[in-house]
Structures are given as C-alpha cells and as structure tokens.
Structure 1
C-alpha cells in the first residue's frame, strides 16, 4: 500500500471519528438506521456505543423477555402456564451486566400477562419477585418514564412494584373490579403527567370512586387523563375542574352492558375552573342532555369537544344543548357530536328547517376546523343551510355529516349544488362527507372557475340517493381538482334494495375516475405543447 493510499484512509477515519464525536449528529444517524444496523454499531463502534444502546433499549415493547434474559437465562416454570423464570440464582455480575442496558429504558409496554396461560412468552410473576428481592427496586429501571399494561396484571402482580416509581410521568394501566389501583398510585401521583385507564367495567364500587376522588388532588402535574365514563360522577368531575395543568380529559364510552342511568351526572363548567383545558370528550346517557350541561362563563381555552348522546333525545333538547355549546365554548376548533339512538321526534328530523334551527347556534364557532355530526338516523338539510355553514366556517378542514343508514327519498333536500358552497368559502377543506339527493337537478350550474382547491383529498357522498349516472358524474368531475383518487362512496349492506343504488354509485365513481384521468392527460399535453408554441 503506497503512502498516498495510507494517508487517504487515515483522513477518512479521522473524518468518520469527527462525525461520531458529535452526539447530536450521531444520534440523528442512528435514529435512521434499521435495528440490526444499530445493534452492530453498539458492538463495534465504541464512540457511539451508548447512543446506539439508547436507541435500541429506549422503548421495550414485546421484547421484555429478551431484556430479562440479559440478566440470566430463562425457561418455562415447572408449571408451564405460569410463564418464564430464571434457571439459576441471580449474581452480582448479572446485575452489573443487566443495569448497563436498563440505564437506557424509558418506556415499557407490558403484553405478557399474569392469568393468561396461552400468552406467548409470558413472564411468571415469581420472576419479578426474585428481581425485587435481590436488588433495590428504584435502581432496576432508573430512568423509566412511561409504562403501559395492555392487559390486567392482577391485584398482586409484583411487576407493579418495579414500575410504580416517583420519576414516572406517563402511566397506562388496565383496571378490573377489586383492583386497588388508585390507592397504589398515590405514592407516585405527583410526577404523573399522563394517566390512561383501560378496561370495560360494567359497574363501579363505591370504594374505587372514593379512591379516585382521593387520588385526583395528588395528581398535581396531570396534563392528560383518559378513562371510561363509568369512573366519573359529579363529585369527581368537580374535583377534576380544579386541576391547574389539565389540558385533555377523555371520558371514553362505556361498555354497552352499562346501564344508561349509571352516567347520570352533570357537567358543570364554573368560572375559574379547568383553567388549562383544551380538549374534552364526554358521554351523556340521558334523554335531556341540556339539563346536565351548564357553563357559567365562556371557557376560552377549550379547542376540542367530543360528545356522545346515548338517550332518545328530542330536537328541542339538542337545540338547547347546541346553544350552550356555542355560547360557552367560543374557541372551539374541533366539534364531534354523536347521536347514537333515533330522535324522540324522528318525523321532524326530515324537516330541513326544523333540523337546521337545532344546529344553527353552532354557526357562532367561527374558528371551527373539524366538524363531525353523526346520527343513527337521517338528518335533513337544504342547500341554503350548507351555504350558511360554509360562510360561517371558512377555516373548516374536515366536515362530516354522517348517518348510519342510507338516505331514502324525501329524507334530505340537499342537492349536488351544496358542494359549490364549499368550493367558494372553504379553501382549506381536505375531507368532506355528507349525503345528497343526486336525483334532484342541481339549481346551481358549475362554472369554469368553480372547483375545490387542491387541498381536498376526500369527497365522500356515502348514503346519497342516486341520480342519472352521466349527469352526476359530470357535475362531480367538474368540481374536483386534478386528482383521480378523491371521490369515494362506501357501500351499505341493507338488503336487496340497496343493490341498485350501489351499482349506480359504482358507475358514477368509475366515470368520474375516467373523466379526471382524461382531463389530467389533456392538461399535461397542453403544458408540453406550450413551449413549442411559444417558440
């Protein structure tokens, strides 16, 4: 090897060493590497060994058994259904080796669960008991910040002792009856910023409610709380309203086996409470939800609201509810309203004027970006109502009016012309879902300057009544930007009566696809020819 070659290789090594010597750059490179490459770097590159190990072991998901096997070899217990355990006593040298890796573990998701005999690679509870007995608990995972258990661990599972440390900031656990989970959390409550409770309990014992009520004041750093609605009552909701840092409160829908009467509590927004709240998701099982919602003064911080109404609600009750929402949460950017059962006065829902008066109070929400109104049965509007909505919500990005069943004749007055309102007033619109009666002749024709902006990526007319295939196809194609993947129609499975409608909309979809492709091809050819014509 000549001198020039040796000098060149030394220069390359120096340059490589200089790169690896910059932690930020090395971390960026490692983050883009496949796991196998990162493992190789951890073994052979002493300059970035810790960076590579930190990338490999930062999050431990299904590979927890592999991590524990670094501590000592493992095999199934004498009782195979119990899971894996160590084959020999743990030594000091085992811990020295193991702690080199756990020093990087910040997140654990626990899949292998006690009480699931067929779980692959389950870990026996005695394994964790041995670890706790031979090493101070708070040194085993010294930088752990986030823990998730996707299944019940059981009321006495030793793994909780490893996890419930005061440095934990995110905790997601599965709750089942008789588990004294909230009582055990109080020791670590001060550091928790994100708390998620999984499970589908069908009843709630008074002791658990008292434990949660006692826990809430100690969650001084809480930012996000997600839990089943059944955990909430008026006292707990009021206690949560004092949380200074709480930004997100999601009360997840209860199991279908839960009695609607269980969710009979009030949502009271008192002046000065929920000072940081930005997002809330609620569930109301009553027939008169407006009676359970009170907002003393407008809440200016709330940006996102999701509501599920489970009772047989009258239109008058929903109107009073929307009046309260519109006046009480003027800063809303996201609103999802789900009416899960048919209305009490279902015959009035197909009266577009009466229906629009129900939702008209929401027009005051001028910052709205995401609106979804879903219902068990059809809700009727007219073109002029959509025009008012589009004018009021000029920042809208996602607009969804959706019904669980296809519309029948006379259940909506909307025509294809209502789409023009969105093209004229909503330049940021990305997703539009609503049902129209395409058999009606659109009163407004499409002009050369009328089309959706290029931001649109979904036009979903699922549930719409069908019309003349060619006329409907031409109207829709004229409104779409030059993209052949935007128009969509989902099929419903409601018997033979739907087959003709499905076939007609399938034909419309295929025709629109062909039209947009032809138009795009013509545009491309025009652009290609333009330079030669100029010359």
Structure 2
C-alpha cells in the first residue's frame, strides 16, 4: 500500500486498523524525525513540573522505568531512522533524575534507536550532551548535523565521544557557535582523522584549517566541502569513477564547494582546480572581492556546471553588476546553472550583453541575474527583449530570472522566431519594475510553452539552506524587508501570472499555430 503521501494523523489512524496495515503505517510514522520527548512517552507517562528555584519547567517520568517499559519501547524504537531535535523542543527540560533513569535502565548493549542513521541536533547544551553521546550515538549513524547554543559547551569531549561511538559517519555538519576555545581546531582535526568514510563536511570556515584540508585531500571518496549557510541544490552524490580513482592529485572526487568569498579565495589551488569540481556556491560579504573572485573562478574551475554567487542580505553596495564584471565567467563553457543573487542594487547590463551570455552558455538549464534586486532600473537595464536570445540559444532552459525593466514596451517579434523549448517551466521574478501586466503577458505568451508560469521567489531555488527544513528566505507572499514600491511591483507580477494562467485556451491555439507553421 502507498502510505507515503498520508499525513501524520492519517498514518496514526491507519496504525489502528489491523496488524498488517499497522506495521507499515508505524514504519512511516516513526521513521522520520519524531519528536523525541513525545517518543519517550512510550516508555512511561511524563509530566511537567515547575522548578520554582529556576523559574522553569521540568519534564520527568511519573514513575521509575522498568524492563517491561523497554520491552514495549522496543516494538517502536527500531523504526526510527532520522531524528531532528532543537533545544526548544523539550529535551532540555528533562530532569536529571529522568536522564539518569534512561541511561541506567536501558538494556545493556542496546542502542535506544538501533537503526538510526541520521542525527540532527541543533543548539545543543551541556545538559543534553550526555543524552546524545550515551544514548543516541552508535555505529549505524552515518549522517550527523550538530550545533551548540552555549559558550561553555564541551566540544572536545563531545567530538571524542562522537567519533568513538559513530566511526562510520559519512556526512558531518558541525557548527560550534559560541562554544569556542583554543584547542577546538586541534580537536576537530583529530575527529576528522578518525572518520575514514567521510564524504561530506559542513562546518564554519575557521575549522577548515590547512591540516584538515591536507587530511581530506587524498581521500578518493570525499565529495562535498561546505563552509557557509548555503550550498548548491541537487548534488549528485556518487561513488568515485575509475578516472577519479586513478587521479594522483589532491581532491580527486571533490565535486561541490560552498563558502564565504574571502575563504574561497584563500583555499589551496588544488581545491578549485580539482578534476571533479562541478558545483561552486560563493557567499559574498565584502563585495570589493568580487572581481578577483570571478577571475579566479574562470581560471581555475573550468569544469563547473553550477556556479552561484549570493551577496549578504542588505549588504552595503554602491556598485551594480556589469557586463565587464561578469565577463570572466563566459569562459565556463559547461555551465548549466548560473545564479547571481544580489538584492541591494539592480544590474547595469544591456540586452545585447545578455545575448552574449545566451550564446556562450548553450547548456543552460537555470539562469538568474539579480531577479530579486530592489530599486529602480539603472540607466542601462535589461528589458523583456533580453528573453529572446535565451529562448533561441538555450534549448535546455528550465527557468530564468533577470531583473528587468518590464515597463519598456517589448519589441515586435520577427515572423520567424524561437519560443522557449517545451522544457521551460518558470520565469522567476520579485519586484522588477512593471507598469502594464497585460502588455507583459501579451509578449510572454508568444515565447512561453503551455505549462510555463511566472513565479514569485524570495531566494534562488537552485541553492539550499544547509540546516533543517528552513529555506533561508522569507515566504514568497511575505512583505518582510520589502519597500512599498517593491511590494507594488511584486503584486503587479502576481497579477501578470494570474492573467497568464487565465489564457490557457489562447496559448493552446497559439502553440498549435506555431506547429502548423
């Protein structure tokens, strides 16, 4: 039976039908991120009490745990595959007595979740560290995401326990936050040395020391190095090919790198010139580094298929992206995903300049050039006409987003012109200038295939926030951080999409007419 699309409430109902259906429903219900405190209530009832000395709530078991409780718990605990916890989810409130009861009564040699493979523990404190290391960590865990919330967290002791109890970790995310001390870089390097199967490392750039890079450089299966909040979406995690295994240089399999601009520019040459590097996401805080960065990328990362550059939100900028700034990237002939996300100021680039990009990147699947920039257009700004060369030359294109002055009337299309291919799906916009949505739609229906839409986005869909399910961007309908004029333009684009969606019959007729020609 197909339970995958059922809600938690529906799965809970299915679990009460009969034994056969119940087993399948319970597997799905508990496999992915159950709330830990709710799951522990299977052992014994729990209650909240007020700790008047600290003016806080304490969570505790109402009675001591028994072997019978663990026998019942064992029917459910093997189903848990992924566990995601944050400090505010309740486990920090667990009383010391209940914590000791858990640790002391669990059957000897058993893990509390024996088939757990992914552990995500955000904003951990010293109160929960014994719980994590003693009860949750064991050899079946291969994915760990961990961050701390306090400046006194004992990272060294945690890392030592983690690698000893979870030696098979393949993907490690470790963000110590305020828990910093002189020895942390040494402890972290020692931990990396103890994880021979590691293929993905996600940590703050300060911990990506020369010693750590040297340790990882000759591992034939190391794929991903991330040291900022965002990374490229849709990463192909694969085994090393024969060519990679035969490569005698450093980082033979490294395919995906994400980091802060200043850190990327300080990386050893072997990282950016790796034979397998295809994905690079750069987060820019100091925009004065951008010209040097792009020159470095164009000279070193010749096999890139995904390049994305994001500037820090509300960064102070007095310089718009120009054709001259971006020109070095034209050397990246294999590019399939090109994203430049700069929200502070619109680009100063012409339709003719973008024609050069379209001709240079025939493999493009996704193209974005500041589609979420706020403010009025530059003297030189893209218009709706900039879409025409992408429709003609980029026949694999799936989505496009360009800050454009859509108030400028679009040109009349020639008698013979190329519309976007049937693979094209969305034009991503936010608050580019637009005056007459109906005029814009009249132009777009001549270029768009039947299924294509206008999509309001607050961030590039081709990059992903690294931790949790949060996207890192406000919802599309949110007014957060948008000026009044930007909100007006966004609503006009939304109106344009409504008009476009209502013209399905007209679009079908137009497409049929194109086929006849």
Same-fold status (TM-score > 0.5): yes
Following superposition, the deviation at residue 397 of structure 1 comes to 1.9
Give 5+ residue unaligned stretches, structure 1: 1-27, 255-269, 528-535
Q: Distance in 2 between matches of 1:463 and 1:143?
A: 47
Q: Deviations over 1:278-324 (max 9, x none)?
A: 211111348xx756563488423222110112224166424422333
With over 3 angstroms needed to count, the CA separation of the structure-2 counterparts of 1:245 and 1:77, relative to structure 1, is farther
1:392 match: 360
In the alignment, structure 1 residue 244 sits paired with structure 2 residue 220: yes
Give 1 or 2 for the bigger CA radius of gyration. Answer: 1
Q: Distance in 2 between matches of 1:337 and 1:512?
A: 27
Q: Distance in 2 between matches of 1:94 and 1:509?
A: 55
Following superposition, the deviation at residue 120 of structure 1 comes to 9.2
With over 3 angstroms needed to count, the CA separation of the structure-2 counterparts of 1:460 and 1:168, relative to structure 1, is closer
1:183 match: 160
Contact 1:303-1:331 within 8 A present in 2 as well: yes
In the alignment, structure 1 residue 104 sits paired with structure 2 residue 89: no
Other structure's SS at 1:187 match: helix
Contact 2:450-2:504 within 8 A present in 1 as well: yes
In the alignment, structure 1 residue 133 sits paired with structure 2 residue 79: no
1:368 match: 335
Task: Give the counterpart of 1:222 among 198, 211, 229.
Answer: 198
Q: Deviations over 1:241-276 (max 9, x none)?
A: 34432222221249xxxxxxxxxxxxxxx9722222
| C-alpha RMSD over aligned residues | 4.0
Other structure's SS at 2:370 match: strand
Other structure's SS at 2:110 match: helix
Contact 2:383-2:405 within 8 A present in 1 as well: yes
Contact 1:319-1:357 within 8 A present in 2 as well: no
1:23 match: none
With over 3 angstroms needed to count, the CA separation of the structure-2 counterparts of 1:77 and 1:495, relative to structure 1, is closer
In the alignment, structure 1 residue 458 sits paired with structure 2 residue 426: yes
Contact 1:244-1:275 within 8 A present in 2 as well: yes
With over 3 angstroms needed to count, the CA separation of the structure-2 counterparts of 1:524 and 1:450, relative to structure 1, is closer
Q: Distance in 2 between matches of 1:514 and 1:404?
A: 21
Contact 1:293-1:321 within 8 A present in 2 as well: no
With over 3 angstroms needed to count, the CA separation of the structure-2 counterparts of 1:271 and 1:437, relative to structure 1, is farther
What is the correspondence of 1:395-474 to structure 2 with a 5 Å cutoff? 395-402=363-370, 405-406=373-374, 408=376, 410-438=378-406, 445-447=413-415, 449-462=417-430, 464-465=432-433, 472=440, 474=442
Other structure's SS at 1:103 match: helix
Contact 1:482-1:516 within 8 A present in 2 as well: no
Contact 2:139-2:168 within 8 A present in 1 as well: yes
Q: Distance in 1 between matches of 2:327 and 2:64?
A: 71
Q: Distance in 2 between matches of 1:487 and 1:55?
A: 33
Following superposition, the deviation at residue 121 of structure 1 comes to 9.8
What is the correspondence of 1:486-525 to structure 2 with a 5 Å cutoff? 486=454, 498=485, 502=488, 510=495, 514=499, 517-518=502-503, 520-521=505-506, 523=508
Higher helix share: 1
Other structure's SS at 2:123 match: coil
Following superposition, the deviation at residue 37 of structure 1 comes to 6.1
Other structure's SS at 2:274 match: coil
Contact 2:272-2:301 within 8 A present in 1 as well: no
What is the correspondence of 1:254-273 to structure 2 with a 5 Å cutoff? 272-273=249-250
Task: Give the counterpart of 2:173 among 196, 217, 225.
Answer: 196
TM-score w.r.t. length of structure 2: 0.75
TM-score w.r.t. length of structure 1: 0.73
1:300 match: 275
With over 3 angstroms needed to count, the CA separation of the structure-2 counterparts of 1:212 and 1:370, relative to structure 1, is same
With over 3 angstroms needed to count, the CA separation of the structure-2 counterparts of 1:412 and 1:461, relative to structure 1, is farther
With over 3 angstroms needed to count, the CA separation of the structure-2 counterparts of 1:406 and 1:109, relative to structure 1, is closer
